[in-house]
Structure 1
Amino acid sequence: MKSKISLMCTALVASLTLAGCGNLDPNGLLSAGSDMAKAANLSDADIVQLSDAACKQSDKESKVASAGSKYSKRLAKVMRGFGKMTLNGQRIKYKAYLTQDVNAWAMGNGCVRVYSGLMDMMNDDELRGVLGHEMGHVALGHTKKAMQLAYATSAARQAASAAGNSMVSALSSSELGDLTEKFINAQFSQSQESDADDYSFDLLTQKKMNRKGLVTAFQKLAELDGGKSSMFSSHPSSPDRAARMQARLDANK
């Protein structure tokens, strides 16, 4: 319950900050509050539906690698190591984006996206470590909370900026793009990041894949920007996370 209240308060503060208080319609605030409450109670089915729409919007706004490109072929090879696993019962649907950005993410509908900038930087074992981490956020429920917050903030922003206009029941294309951006840029807590690291380590162990890649992936991210990569939350730092994974590796030899 406490997390749901925190979620709604965060969204409400965002709406007031962006729009100011003077022009807000009380009915609009009630509507915004209703949408925030709805966001805090989004079911798994709702998350899948929102994630389907958000992932399609992201694909529409991005340059997706063709099926015959070297990135798509390599990603297919990398993903084969995970076998026929699902994410919360959803089939994994992966694609590569052609961009120099270093990033990867996964959504609650099984949507996994990997940027070519990351693929250029990592070897196959490192990519599997990173992907295991991102899928861990889904499996552990972190992405559900991130989507709830993204949805609540987007709904609050729309209600506040309307200043008297009624809210639409469905997200427009621009609102969906805003929601998708918020989700992709979401920052996870220290405990969530550590839990996702452990999930990846355990998954790589289960699938009999090279776990050292998880260590060296963090080391490369540390070299990229002094240990504070924008790809993962800066707390804990990439060097600390690499050291923790190395300690687990040493303990499990």
Structure 2
Amino acid sequence: MKRIAVTIATWVALSLPLSGCMNQTSVAALGDAFKAATLTDSAAKEMAAQATVQMDKKNPVLPANHPYSRRLAKIVAPFKNEDGLALNFKVYDAKQVNAFAMANGTVRVYRGLLDNFTDDEVRFVIGHEIGHVKLGHSLKAMRTAYATSAVRKGLASQGGLAGQLSASQLGALGEQLVNSKFSRTQETESDTYAVSFMKKHGFDPRAGLSVMQKFYKMDGGKRSILSSHPASKDREEHIENLL
């Protein structure tokens, strides 16, 4: 639920050697940077689909007949196609309290989320993640992740160690998308989307309040002051104002 989009093509161009003869890796870096700036929605979906395959290989996916998978299937039964986006759901057998959605409709829920949240709370979290996709936040995150690969290639052209990581490593791309951060505004917009999502499907949007209360406790009671993304308490107050 946390990713930040940044503009990087110009930085890459400036960071490459200013010589009259650039090597092939430098040219590839610039190409990736400019591709990132204009990455289309369809291209992002294709990349997300490929990254999903690698993520599902790297993470333990519970079978459809597992109790956790059956519970999730019941929770998301009304959400097979949301706002024009065909969704597919799986459970990762991991204790992290987390979930994510990608531009191709992939939604992955970690076992830890199901262990700690009620059905409606899980629905709210899923609505929030879908919000990031539908509001264009995920496309921006994909552009950022793709552009970062250009930086790596640029460093490789100069002998940098970071160049050892390649854009072709789709599993790493997926991990980057899952672990990056959204901005304060994007998180707030997705919370707003999640409230509407719950209302539209006839579920209690007040589940968002209890979600934030639980996150607040997990965060050790921290409240945002200068943070780039809102703390759980601030998000709870925003949700309360929407009810």
TM-score tier (shorter): 0.7 to 0.9
Q: How far is 1:163 from its partner?
A: 4.5
Which residue of structure 2 lines up, in the alignment, with residue 26 of structure 1? 22
Which residue of structure 2 lines up, in the alignment, with residue 86 of structure 1? 82
Matched, 1:155 2:156: no
Q: Is the 8 A contact 1:96 1:115 kept in 2?
A: yes
What are the ranges of 5 or more consecutive residues in structure 1 without an aligned counterpart? none
- Write the mapping of 1:11-160 to structure 2, written as runs, cut at 5 A: 12=12, 26-27=22-23, 28-82=25-79, 84-86=80-82, 89-160=84-155
- Paired amino acid for 1:186: S
- Flag as ranges the 4+ runs of structure 1 deviating above 6 A: none
Which residue of structure 1 lines up, in the alignment, with residue 175 of structure 2? 181
What do the CA deviations read for 1:200-227 (whole angstroms, capped 9, x no partner)? 0011111111111111001101111225
Q: Name which of 192, 196, 202 aligns with 1:198.
A: 192
TM-score (norm 2): 0.85
Count residues in correspondence: 228
Q: How far is 1:159 from its partner?
A: 4.2
- SS of the equivalent of 2:76 reads helix
What do the CA deviations read for 1:155-202 (whole angstroms, capped 9, x no partner)? 3313422548xx9xx953xx2122111111121111100000000001
Cα distance in 1 for residues equivalent to 2:78 and 2:222: 29
Q: How far is 1:97 from its partner?
A: 0.2
What are the ranges of 5 or more consecutive residues in structure 2 without an aligned counterpart? none
- SS of the equivalent of 2:193 reads helix
Distance 1:50 1:227, change over 3 A: farther
- SS of the equivalent of 1:208 reads coil
Q: Is the 8 A contact 2:32 2:149 kept in 1?
A: no
- Paired amino acid for 2:82: T
Q: How far is 1:64 from its partner?
A: 0.3
Which residue of structure 1 lines up, in the alignment, with residue 219 of structure 2? 225
Matched, 1:236 2:230: yes
